[in-house]
Amino acid sequence: MSKKKITIIIITILSVCLAACIGIFMFFKIINFFAGKIMTNTLSTTRATLYGDVPESKRMLVGFGERIAQEISYGSKEGDTTVQDYLDAGCDPNYCLMLREDWCCRNPLMIFNTAAGYSTYFAEKPSYPDVQVFNELIKVGADIVSATLN
C-alpha cells in the first residue's frame, strides 16, 4: 500500500472517530436540554401545589409547623420567616400542621421528639437551634403537659 492510501485511511478513521465523539456529545447535550425542561416544569408544578389539598385557611398552620421543624434542626437564616414571626402573627403555640401526617405533627412541642438531628461534637462554638425555638414557644405559653399527653 502506498503512503497516500495509508494517510487517507488514517484521516478517514480519525474523521469518523471525531464525528462519533461529536455525535455522542450532541446526543447527551440534547438529552440534558430536554431533561432540564422536564425538571423545570415538574418543579414549578410541585412548588405551585406545595400545600396539596390543604385549604387556604390552614396553610399558615402548615407553614408554622414546617418552619418549626426547619428551625429546630438548622436554625433560621437572614430574610426567612421565623417561628417568632408566626407567633407574632397569632399562631397558637400549642397547634400546628405539617405536610406529613405523623403522631407528632399537631403540637409544636411534640415536633421536638423527631426533628432535632444536628451534631455539635466537632463544633468549636456549638449552637443549639432547638433550644431557641423551644424557648420561643414556652415564652408565649406553649403547654408542656398537653404536649406530652397527645
CA distance 91 to 133: 14
HSE of 39, CA atoms in CB hemisphere, 13 A? 6
Interacting residues of 122 by C-beta distance below 8 A, sequence separation 6+: none
Q: Digits of tens for pLDDT over the chain (150 positions)?
A: 788 888 888 899 988 888 888 888 888 888 888 888 777 766 666 555 556 667 778 888 888 888 888 888 788 888 888 899 999 999 999 888 887 766 667 888 887 766 655 566 677 777 777 788 888 888 998 888 766 655
Strands (E), the chain: none
Query: Would the CA dihedral through 46, 50, 53, 57 be positive or negative?
Result: negative
**pTM for the model:** 0.56
Round to whole Å and give the CA distance between 113 and 104: 8
